[in-house]
Amino acid sequence: MLRKSLVVNPKDSVAMVLENASKGDRIQTPRGEITLLEDVEFAHKVAIVDIEEKEPIYKYGEEIGFAKTAIPKGTWIHGHNTGCDRGTQKR
């Protein structure tokens, strides 16, 4: 099923899902259609590109953190696979 999502800036590496979505559902993004690799709840983020370990993650055109591990496109983005070093020494 095609689900609603939001990508604000061309630099973004994530989309925000605008309704609850299940593994196998799809979202349409400026980078093409993405198939979700796991369930994603309303207003949570999903990778719309493959993100390498330690690579910055962008939402609204701003860096919001970095990948703790490699994150394939279609994966739910949350605290289990992201980190943030704001207010600390750079990695």
pLDDT-derived band at 89, boundaries 50, 70, 90: low
Residue 15: closest CA among 41, 43, 37, 38: 43
**Residue 88 falls within a domain, yes or no?**
no
Compute the average pLDDT of residues 35-63: 97
Work out how many domains the chain is built from and give that number: 1
Q: Can you tell me the mean pLDDT for 5-33?
A: 97
pTM recorded for the entire structure: 0.90
- Is 89 a member of any domain? no
Q: What is the mean pLDDT of the chain?
A: 94
Whether 77 and 14 have beta carbons less than 8 Å apart is answered as: yes
What pLDDT, in 10s, does the model give residues 53-65? 999 999 999 999 9
pLDDT at residue 21 greater than cutoff 70 = yes
Parent domain of 30: 2-83
Distances in whole angstroms, Cα of residue 65 to Cα of each of 3, 35, 42: 25, 23, 20
Q: Calculate the alpha carbon distances from 24 to 1, 27, 53, 55, 80 in Å.
A: 8, 10, 24, 25, 21
Instruction: Tell me whether residue 10 is in a domain.
Output: yes
Which of 63, 52, 54, 50 lies closest to 11, judged by CA? 63
CATH number of the domain that residue 79 is part of: 2.30.130.110
Measure CA of the first residue to CA of the last residue in the chain; give whole Å.
39
